Structure 1
Amino acid sequence: METYLRQIPAVNKILAEEKVQELLKDYPRTLIVDSIRGVNEQLRERILAGKLSSDSELAINRVVELLREKVKGWSEPNLRATINGTGVVIHTNLGRSLLAESAQQRLVEVADNYSNLEIEVESGERGSRYDNVSELLTYLTGAEAALVVNNNAAAVLLALDTLAKGQEVVISRGQLVEIGGSFRIPEVMEQSGAHLVEVGATNKTHLRDYEAAINEETALLLRAHTSNYRIVGFTKEVALEKLVKLSNDNNLAVLDDLGSGTLIDFSQYGFELEEPTVQESIEAGVDVVTFSGDKLLGGPQAGIIVGKEEYISRMKKNPLTRALRVDKFTLAALEETLRLYLDLDQVVEKVPTLRMLTLDLQILADKADKLKEALAELNSNLTIEKAEGYSQVGGGSFPSERLATYLIKVTVPGLTANQLANRLRSLNPPLFTRIQDEEIIIDLRTVKEEQISIIVNHFNKLLEGEGE
């Protein structure tokens, strides 16, 4: 061990190497020196842990290569574009919804200029950042007022903290959902200071269950739409209209957490499952509705709150609102996304998430044929198959909806499916795929037309030995 430790090259010795001198032309000396020390420290830790396989790992040329990789890592972004070949349209781990072209343009415009984020152009007086999207939201949903925070969990937290802090909130046991990152409705309620009152059973809740739970400590009734799962079979839940009537009879408020949230009826596009729209909740008389901006809506990450003016006004005055507020980029992208919904005949084509969810099967077949033919021309040893399959909506939306699609299945001689998947992810841009029956599966639903040639090039690089 001591022998190995003494073999770690000194900083000055590494700095004198020709390849390191080349690095110094492009990177600050301080960064290079700190990176050398970092590499040496990693080597020291490996030695002390008994993980060094041989003294060849301590050779000066090997250490220099480790240094070059480390420095290169500083110059490359961690957050970068990827190719989604999984077929999961609203893929949380891959950034969820893609923004419409017009929303992208608005982001660039706002980034490159000052903006009227919190100032009224007409009067020159200070204004509210929420005014930039409020009119669109109220027009599209039919609500009296609107507010936007940084995600839907924050929207629910703010609503509960404002309307029910220190009081009771009644919710069906079948709606105690867990959202992304293991956050659960009961935990959000606890953080808000509201007291959870569970009623009914997991599969069945009746109106009488809500009625029996209401007392002088009750502040509101909460419906949490189970957008990321379904309970089927011997089930019953109380209609929203009945919850609204019960709340009105008892001078309570109703909060409807839609989760994903949508402004269009997906049944017109052949979706079998019903997904309640925001407009339906408002029409039913709900006081406050919360939903996401970056799922079925197809915009940036945001938590949207719409409802009655008296409740939204109280939320705007809550100190939490400042902690949860959105920035100019979110507002710019959200405003432009919402503007596209003014034309329901065109929105499905212009919002990428909606377009991918409603793609014609023939378009998917043509894309699959194009990829298959291009891959077949690379190498006759590749095993390539076009097959029918199913995509997923993702993002906690339409959990059991299966979208018919076309897949390309690929195997490469000498590589397991896991090895191939790992190497495809190591290339730039990383390609994410599915694995089934020891085959790599590429679902064309989430692959852009212009990305097909990049995928082909990736396989070409692998066949030439890159990505190892």
Structure 2
Amino acid sequence: MNQSSATDLLRQLPSVHELLSSAELTDAAAKVGHSLVRETVRTCVESWRGRLLGGAVVDAMPTLESLVCETLRLLDQRQQTTIRRVINATGILLHTGLGRAPLPQAAIDAVLQATGNCNVEVDLLTGQRTRRHEIVQNDLCALTGAEAAMVVNNNAGATGLVLAAFAMGRELIVSHGELIEIGGGFRLPDVFRAYGAQLRAVGTTNRTRVSDYEQAINERTGAIMAIHTSNYRVIGFTQQPTISELVDLARDRDFPVVHDLGSGALVDFLATEENNEPLVRDSIDQGAGLVLFSGDKLLGGPQAGIIVGKRHLVEQLAKHPMSRALRIDKLTLAALQATLAIYRRAESDPSVYDSIPFLQMIRTSNEQLEQRAKNLVNRLSKQIKNWSVKPVPSEAYAGGGSLPGNKLESWAIVLRPVGADADVEMLAQRLRTNHPAVVGRIHRGDLYFDLRGVQPGDDESLVVALADGTFLAAVDETGAV
């Protein structure tokens, strides 16, 4: 294509102004903002300009209507990157990519209360300034038996604060078998070095004795850190000192024993031989100076790094300059306080635990899940074409680096393509872009939707999404109903 021909074709392209003046894009601008729509229109127009100037052969020039449709499709794709509600049917209850623990309704209500001005650092009785972690300190101490508590933005932040306060420029003693890699490819030895701690690894991968720790102690020791391997398990010929043994070893020495639990269970609903998830209170009872754990894993609350332990150690952390950079925001604090209040009420009425979605998922019987699956399949089988749908036993996992290897009995709805127009990948994508989004898993050419992670209140939305998704995916595939 010569330059003059390309120029002639460029003149046929609708202008940005013409596109923005269309009724469809005017409506879109009112919903998502004029600047986003304008930028998306320019992207579409520039894409066509580039193709034409590059000499691309096109069957037909885009019309105003076709460019409007193209802009709306691109706009919808860009909107997929915004935070949206998702029905988690993956079978991974604490799915990191899907936001880990869903918040209790009480926590959601508390967040709404805290969106305006609130008493985050003021004692309304005395009018005096306070520290924000005092809002949750009493609840945390009552639930764990600790002398004091504070909260930062997440558990990695809690670990970093401890390292900065006690191990910067000093040696940190850790068992070889506990030098784990956490999510995102972050390895603990690298984290330790980033905070200026000098790692002193002792023992071996599978066996570390008290004597290994004892031989490593010297005048440069800053802390002993025991790390719960919450995202994997070593079994067989193993040995690891208890927290109480490490506390006895460090007694009368000028450094703390820190237990990084990671997941942080306050109660145990999975008491089996396979599950060795330690409780926070157990670590405190054994004398740990500091215990660190997450708020959005087994606790079932918002993302937070919770620190409980000896009063003088917590005070050192609270006064450290880094605590300011890691401090928890008011919305997270409100959600955490409301979640902890549920635990306090559940001490006298265990049924209250079910108001925490994650604990409700754990406590739901497999028989209940089976009945839900059969009821949903009965409804779906009357609405879906080109797919077989059936209830099947399944296995779910806690996820989020918690309870490794601990399978939870579950039930799933399985869609299997039986028609020529049934495409698993296309249906999965259609469901991911649904409102609300539905995320399941593909296994051996079938689509699985595990119900243990689906809250009962979402069953209706799941049925509608699956019925509509199979219909629309077929339309996308064939171009006709």
Per the TM superposition, whether the score is higher than 0.5 is yes
Q: CA deviation at 1:82?
A: 0.8
C-alpha separation in 1, matches of 2:362 and 2:282: 22
C-alpha separation in 1, matches of 2:356 and 2:273: 18
Answer yes or no: is 1:313 the counterpart of 2:320. Answer: no
C-alpha separation in 2, matches of 1:91 and 1:58: 42
C-alpha separation in 1, matches of 2:54 and 2:259: 54
Answer yes or no: is 1:166 the counterpart of 2:169. Answer: yes
The match for 2:466 among 443, 459, 468 is 459
Q: Please tell me whether the aligned partners of residues 147 and 304 of structure 1 are also in contact (alpha carbons under 8 angstroms).
A: yes
C-alpha separation in 1, matches of 2:20 and 2:120: 49
C-alpha separation in 1, matches of 2:295 and 2:28: 44
Deviations along 1:239-262, one digit per CA (max 9) or x if unpaired, are 211111111154321010001011
Segment of structure 1 superposing worse, 392-401 or 61-70: 61-70
Name the residue aligned to 1:396.
Answer: 401
The match for 2:281 among 247, 269, 279 is 279
The match for 1:264 among 262, 267, 285 is 267
Answer yes or no: is 1:224 the counterpart of 2:227. Answer: yes
Task: Output aligned runs, 1:286-297, within 5 Å.
Answer: 286-297=288-299
Q: CA deviation at 1:103?
A: 1.4
TM-score relative to the length of structure 1: 0.92
Name the residue aligned to 1:110.
Answer: 114
C-alpha separation in 2, matches of 1:49 and 1:368: 54
Change (3 A) 1:48 1:406: farther
Matched AA of 1:386: P
Q: Please tell me whether the aligned partners of residues 357 and 455 of structure 2 are also in contact (alpha carbons under 8 angstroms).
A: no
Name the residue aligned to 1:302.
Answer: 304
Answer yes or no: is 1:238 the counterpart of 2:238. Answer: no
Q: Please tell me whether the aligned partners of residues 262 and 297 of structure 1 are also in contact (alpha carbons under 8 angstroms).
A: yes
SS in 1 for 2:251: helix
C-alpha separation in 1, matches of 2:307 and 2:470: 51
Q: CA deviation at 1:106?
A: 1.2
Q: Please tell me whether the aligned partners of residues 6 and 53 of structure 2 are also in contact (alpha carbons under 8 angstroms).
A: no
SS in 2 for 1:377: coil
The match for 2:192 among 189, 192, 197 is 189
C-alpha separation in 1, matches of 2:29 and 2:205: 64
Name the residue aligned to 1:448.
Answer: 455
RMSD: 2.4
Matched AA of 2:92: V
Change (3 A) 1:383 1:290: same
Matched AA of 1:133: V
Answer yes or no: is 1:39 the counterpart of 2:44. Answer: yes
Q: CA deviation at 1:164?
A: 1.2
The match for 1:386 among 391, 394, 398 is 391
C-alpha separation in 2, matches of 1:161 and 1:48: 58
Name the residue aligned to 2:479.
Answer: none
Matched AA of 2:353: V
Change (3 A) 1:319 1:400: same
Answer yes or no: is 1:157 the counterpart of 2:160. Answer: yes
Task: Output aligned runs, 1:46-65, within 5 Å.
Answer: 54=58, 56=60, 58-65=62-69
Change (3 A) 1:271 1:83: farther
Matched AA of 2:250: S
C-alpha separation in 1, matches of 2:92 and 2:375: 21
Deviations along 1:22-77, one digit per CA (max 9) or x if unpaired, are 65676766554443223223444566788x67354644332222223455667787
Change (3 A) 1:398 1:75: closer
Answer yes or no: is 1:361 the counterpart of 2:363. Answer: no
Answer yes or no: is 1:78 the counterpart of 2:82. Answer: yes
C-alpha separation in 1, matches of 2:307 and 2:44: 49
SS in 1 for 2:233: coil
Segment of structure 1 superposing worse, 181-190 or 193-202: 181-190
Q: Please tell me whether the aligned partners of residues 158 and 315 of structure 1 are also in contact (alpha carbons under 8 angstroms).
A: yes
Q: CA deviation at 1:274?
A: 1.3
Matched AA of 1:135: N
Name the residue aligned to 1:14.
Answer: 19
C-alpha separation in 2, matches of 1:262 and 1:371: 33
Deviations along 1:58-100, one digit per CA (max 9) or x if unpaired, are 4433222222345566778710101111111111111110111
Q: Please tell me whether the aligned partners of residues 4 and 55 of structure 1 are also in contact (alpha carbons under 8 angstroms).
A: no
Name the residue aligned to 1:430.
Answer: 437
Structure 2: runs of 5 or more not aligned: 477-481
Segment of structure 1 superposing worse, 204-213 or 455-464: 455-464
Q: Please tell me whether the aligned partners of residues 356 and 445 of structure 1 are also in contact (alpha carbons under 8 angstroms).
A: yes
Q: Please tell me whether the aligned partners of residues 82 and 429 of structure 1 are also in contact (alpha carbons under 8 angstroms).
A: yes
Change (3 A) 1:430 1:33: closer
Change (3 A) 1:219 1:350: same
Change (3 A) 1:19 1:10: same
Q: CA deviation at 1:212?
A: 1.5
Q: Please tell me whether the aligned partners of residues 80 and 433 of structure 2 are also in contact (alpha carbons under 8 angstroms).
A: no
Structure 1: runs of 5 or more not aligned: none
Name the residue aligned to 2:204.
Answer: 201
Change (3 A) 1:24 1:260: closer
Q: Percent identity?
A: 37
Q: Please tell me whether the aligned partners of residues 267 and 274 of structure 1 are also in contact (alpha carbons under 8 angstroms).
A: no
Task: Output aligned runs, 1:317-332, within 5 Å.
Answer: 317-332=319-334
Q: Please tell me whether the aligned partners of residues 373 and 411 of structure 2 are also in contact (alpha carbons under 8 angstroms).
A: yes
Matched AA of 1:331: L
Q: Please tell me whether the aligned partners of residues 145 and 284 of structure 2 are also in contact (alpha carbons under 8 angstroms).
A: yes
Q: Please tell me whether the aligned partners of residues 223 and 257 of structure 1 are also in contact (alpha carbons under 8 angstroms).
A: yes
SS in 1 for 2:427: helix
C-alpha separation in 2, matches of 1:30 and 1:354: 43
C-alpha separation in 2, matches of 1:219 and 1:359: 44
SS in 2 for 1:96: coil
Change (3 A) 1:321 1:43: farther
Q: Please tell me whether the aligned partners of residues 57 and 63 of structure 1 are also in contact (alpha carbons under 8 angstroms).
A: no
C-alpha separation in 2, matches of 1:22 and 1:102: 36
Segment of structure 1 superposing worse, 88-97 or 17-26: 17-26
C-alpha separation in 1, matches of 2:187 and 2:254: 27
C-alpha separation in 1, matches of 2:86 and 2:308: 34
Matched AA of 1:459: L
Q: How many residues of Structure 1 are paired with residues of Structure 2 in the alignment?
A: 465
Answer yes or no: is 1:335 the counterpart of 2:337. Answer: yes
Change (3 A) 1:26 1:273: closer
Change (3 A) 1:11 1:245: same
C-alpha separation in 1, matches of 2:26 and 2:33: 11
Change (3 A) 1:14 1:167: same
